[in-house]
Amino acid sequence: MVKQEDDFKKVISHAKEYGYVFQSSEIYDGLSAVYDYAQNGAELKKNIREYWWKAMVQMNDNIVGLDSAILMHPTVWKASGHVDAFNDPLIDNKDSKKRYRADVLVEDYTAKIEAKIDKEVAKAHKRFGDSFDKKQFLETNPRVVGYQEQITTILKRLGKSLEKEDLVDVKNLIEELEIACPVSGSRNWTDVKQFNLMFGTKLGASADSAMNLYLRPETAQGIFVNFLNVQKTGRMKIPFGIAQVGKAFRNEIVARQFIFRQREFEQMEMQFFIRPGSQKEWYETWKEKRMAWHLSLGLGAENYRFHDHEKLAHYADAAADIEFKFPFGFKELEGIHSRTDFDLGSHEKFSGKKLQYFDPELNESYVPYVVETSIGLDRMFLAVFSNSLVEEELENNTTRTVLKLPAVLAPNKAAVFPLVKKDGLPELAQEIIDDLKWDFNVVYDEKDAVGRRYRRQDANGTPFCITVDHQSLEDNTVTIRHRDTMEQQRVAIADVKSIIHKEVDMKTWLQRML
């Protein structure tokens, strides 16, 4: 656990030191759970956004994009259920005065039991060696089966109580499990209360005529209210999807995990409109497709898992998370939700406008059902960034810090170095950059010994370093060094571009999804 915490601290300080993520308004001591993306972070974020957009919009004939406004008519949030139901159950510890999400306290408790199961598995694996059958062990080992039953019972009860809004029982559960505050260690809790997560604001100049608005807590509703506009003007036929990337705002109760849980963040959402009755099939299809997208980045299949929801949101008939192994454990990265006709149906009621599709094959009109995929861009950033940061032991007993970002997402694709700052080498390096920069972000570095420059680019995540030396002037070749293998090759300057292209092209990476 200590190691995990240390790893996470390293991730946060590396993100700052190398110009990826800064605390917002840092010179004023920061604003809690709000962050800024700096020179490298903005590029990494842009590349992740593009990787998603290409996979979802460009590669699917039946999915189109949208960029709707953050501010929306306030009735939207009545219709969507956010005014009445977008609440988190909060609980305070009276001794530490720290505030927690009651459901998260219980879930963290079950995560500890899960860690015990993992320990038992590792022990048994060691004992039985190659003949170890994990599935059989999980199903038959009495201790493990007991742990599993404990987890299921706790989560079922939590799900039921939250669904019934029985906050007294949520508190009872916390007390029965003897959950203590991680800060004070005490079990002196307040009652559980509901807290609405939407940020309010006002539209209009004079106080009496001002209209109360909300900053959107999700991008999805912008898609629903534009459903018919897009369907008609784009002549879309069901099944079809609308995708959008944009800011969302939530007044999160606890926000202690860097960019994992922010009060202002970016979502990449896609709503897929389908015939009623076909939702099960599409829900499974999108679960599979989204997992394939994640796996195409090569962060390791063992770092992902599905988590099917026990407690369903008011709009869903099925829901699953894709969880990722962050430095603080497996947590939600993306949600796939079968939202039924809840949203469109509700907007029909509240607006008095028909939001129906005429299906020429069935010769009838209906309110479409929706399957949604919703991923946090910032969480994806953290997944990629934390997974890529490694300390490597080298053969000569030294270590190097390297940010092994998938090359397709790296902010800079190459750095070009003149071996020395004279004899025309800087000029040739600049010529190479002037050609490459039409295709990629490329940086120039002439300071310090080449070894030091390599280390700097390793820590920055740059996949290629190109060194120009005296031989380059004679035969038009350079050294190209690969970040992950540290291998160096002598190549013709004319070939540099195609070598980089091969490694960073989105096409090559996205084709792994097929």
Shortest distance in whole angstroms from residue 413 CB to ligand ATP: 27
What are the φ and ψ backbone dihedral angles of 491, each rounded to 5 degrees? -135, 160
Shortest distance in whole angstroms from residue 319 CB to ligand ATP: 8
Question: Closer to ligand ATP at the Cβ: 323 or 359?
Answer: 323
Span from 43-51, 142-150, 288-296, 376-384 in contact with ligand ATP (CB under 6 A):
376-384
Size of the site for ligand ATP (CB under 6 A): 16
> Among 95, 323, 332, 359, which residue interacts with ligand ATP (rule: CB under 6 A)?
332
**Closest residue to ligand ATP, Cβ-based?**
376
CA-nearest of 451, 460, 506, 502 to 479 is 451
Q: Answer yes or no whether residue 41 interacts with ligand ATP by CB under 6 A.
A: no
Among residue numbers 210 through 229, which ones bind ligand ATP (CB under 6 A)?
Answer: 218
Do the bridges between strand 357-359 and strand 364-366 make them parallel or antiparallel, or are there none, so unpaired?
antiparallel
Q: Answer yes or no whether residue 372 interacts with ligand ATP by CB under 6 A.
A: no
CA-to-CA distance for 11 and 386, rounded, in angstroms? 6
Position 495, amino acid: D
- Can you list the positions of beta strands (E) in 294-379? 304-308, 318-326, 329-340, 357-359, 364-366, 369-376
Three-state secondary structure call for residue 192: coil
- 410 near 314, Cβ under 8 Å? no
Question: Closer to ligand ATP at the Cβ: 137 or 330?
Answer: 330
Q: Answer yes or no whether residue 189 interacts with ligand ATP by CB under 6 A.
A: no
Q: Answer yes or no whether residue 265 interacts with ligand ATP by CB under 6 A.
A: yes
String of contacts with ligand ATP for each residue 232-251, x by CB under 6 A: ------------------x-
Q: Answer yes or no whether residue 158 interacts with ligand ATP by CB under 6 A.
A: no
- Provide CB contacts within 8 A for 142, sequence distance 6+: none
- 161 near 103, Cβ under 8 Å? no
> Among 23, 93, 267, 457, which residue interacts with ligand ATP (rule: CB under 6 A)?
267
Q: Answer yes or no whether residue 457 interacts with ligand ATP by CB under 6 A.
A: no
Q: Answer yes or no whether residue 262 interacts with ligand ATP by CB under 6 A.
A: yes
Q: Answer yes or no whether residue 304 interacts with ligand ATP by CB under 6 A.
A: no
> Among 341, 378, 445, 469, which residue interacts with ligand ATP (rule: CB under 6 A)?
378
- 407 near 504, Cβ under 8 Å? yes
- The gap between the terminal CA atoms of the chain, to the nearest Å, is 37
- 468 near 432, Cβ under 8 Å? yes
Q: Which residues bind ligand ATP (CB under 6 A)?
A: 218, 250, 252, 261-262, 265, 267, 332-335, 374-376, 378-379
